[in-house]
Amino acid sequence: MSEDSSRPTVLVVDDDPGCVRAVGRILDYAGFATTACRTLDEARAALEGSLKACVITEFRLPDGQGVDFLSHARGLDEHMGRVMLTGVVDFLAVQEAVNQGSVHAFFTKPWDNDSLVQGVRSVLEQCRLARANAEMMVRLSDQNRALEATVRERTGQLEQAKRELEAVFDSWDDPVSIVDDRLRVVRANRAFAAQAGIEVTRVPGSVCHEILFGDETPCPDCPLARGDYGDGPREGVIRSKDRSWRLATRPLDLGRDGRAFLCRYRLVK
């Protein structure tokens, strides 16, 4: 029996030298590289030196239980194939090992050569797919963490940009608002809210002439009230009660349904 890095290596553990030689010949002929151990201590040392694609062990050996060794192999590499080949059948113990995930396949002595080879191949394919799936999940997890970090960074940047724009918006001494084509306020600065006499957070959704001037009808000279939206800035003088205001409007593209306009009011002295 031999080890060949170009072929999947199977570790065969059995205290019967005839069994070890026979299994080794079968697997070598089928394209596997094999390593033989007569005791569990030897097998553990073999795994510590080089992990194998699959291990095949007898149920009971002079220095321990094969199930315990398969659990040990699983702890080293959960995607290592684990096969039990035994002449001592303790079905309850084997069933428990299978349920615990320590054993992928179980064969009794004497075995059928073709069934054993096909069983080892099936176990290796099962383990290959499980390993590939686990690696894919790790990559996806890494990608998700990277994406979440990017989203957090972009969200922070957007929030910072929003705060900066709000600071600029609120730095104007004149009342300023963004209104839609129904004259409803989308956003207003603090000077607008102060003129209206309410908190700035209560302004959105209100009608501009009602909230700002207390008038039930739109300002007569307001270009937006006349539907004079235009493609560029508009200016005019509007009068409300005992005051006159110079109103400058500019259409905005906010990427939303309907029109929006920036309105700036300057008191005419």
Between 50 and 92, the higher pLDDT residue: 50
Residue for token digits 């940047």? 157
For residue 176, give the H/E element and its range. strand 176-180
Domains defined along the chain, listed by start: 9-135 (3.40.50.2300), 172-267 (3.30.450.20)
Mean pLDDT over residues 126-154, rounded?
A: 91
pLDDT, tens digit, 9 for 90 and up, residues 198-233? 898 899 999 998 888 888 888 888 888 888 777 778
Over pLDDT 70: what percentage of the chain? 92
The pLDDT value recorded for residue 4 is 47
In the three-class reduction of DSSP (H, G, I as helix; E, B as strand; rest coil), residue 185 is classed as: strand
What is the overall mean pLDDT for the chain?
A: 87
pLDDT(3) > 50: no
Between 163 and 255, the higher pLDDT residue: 163
pLDDT(108) > 90: no
What confidence category does residue 171 fall into, taking pLDDT thresholds of 50, 70 and 90?
confident
Q: Are 176 and 169 in contact (CB under 8 A)?
A: yes
pLDDT(6) > 60: yes
Which phi and psi (to 5°) does residue 210 adopt? -75, -45
> Which has the closest alpha carbon to 263: 224, 231, 230, 220?
224
Mean pLDDT over residues 161-183, rounded?
A: 86
Please, which residues have CB within 8 angstroms of residue 99's CB and are 6 or more apart in sequence? none
Please, which residues have CB within 8 angstroms of residue 16's CB and are 6 or more apart in sequence? 58
The pLDDT value recorded for residue 101 is 64
For residue 10, give the H/E element and its range. strand 9-13
